[in-house]
Amino acid sequence: MLEFLKHLKEDSLSKKLIEERYTHNQDFPYRTRFFEEIPFNNGITLSIQASGIHNSKPEKTLNDLTQYEAFELGVKSLDVRNFVSMDYATRDKAFTRMFKDYFDGSVYASVPSPLIEDLFQKLKDEHGLVPLDSQTGPSAV
C-alpha cells in the first residue's frame, strides 16, 4: 500500500461543505473535497488532492483512495507560504526532473501515485515528518 494515502485526512472545511451542500448525496462524484497538507521538518508541506474538482485520475470524488491512479500535487514552503516548484522540496535535480511534465505553473497535475509515494518517502527519509503531536492548524495531519 502507498504510505502517503494513510496521511490524507479530509480537512474541516471540506467536511463542512459536505454537510451543507451534499446532505442528500455524499457520494456525489464531483463534490468538493480537500485533504490537509502533510508537513515535513524542513518546512515543506505536500498538498495531495483528488476529487471531482482536482487534476486527479479519475477526476471524481471517490471514497476509496486506492482507486486513484494519479493525484494533484502541490508543494508549499513555510518560507514562501504559497505553492512552489519541486526544487524547494529537494535538491536532487534528477528526481525533480521526473515531475517536470506534470507542472502547470502552480501545482503538479495528475501525478502518478507511485511517483508521489517516491517523493513522500524521499522527504520522510531526508527530513522526517512533523510529529502528529506538534501539528496544529490547517496543516495538521
User: pLDDT digit string (tens) for 78-122?
Assistant: 888 789 999 989 989 999 999 999 999 899 999 999 999 999 999
C-alpha cell at 128: 522526517
- Is residue 50's pLDDT more than 90? yes
Most confident of 12-16, 85-89, 113-117, 128-132: 113-117
Q: How far is CA 40 from the centre of its chain?
A: 13
Enter the DSSP assignment of 24.
S
Phi-psi region of 81 (alpha: psi -120 to 50; beta: other; left: phi over 0): left
Neighbours of 116 (CB within 10 A): 22
Neighbours of 21 (CB within 10 A): 13
pLDDT category of residue 139 using cuts at 50, 70 and 90 = very low
**pLDDT at residue number 140:** 39
- Residue partners of 80: CB distance under 8 A and separation at least 6: 88
Is it the case that residue 21 has pLDDT exceeding 90?
no
Q: pLDDT at position 11, please? A: 86
- What distance, in Å, lies between the first and last C-alpha atoms of the chain? 19
Residue 81 has a pLDDT of 77
Q: Please report which residue ranges of 11-73 form alpha helices under DSSP H.
A: 12-21
Q: What is the Cα–Cα distance from 25 to 7, expressed in whole angstroms?
A: 25
Please say if the pLDDT value at position 136 is more than 90. Answer: no
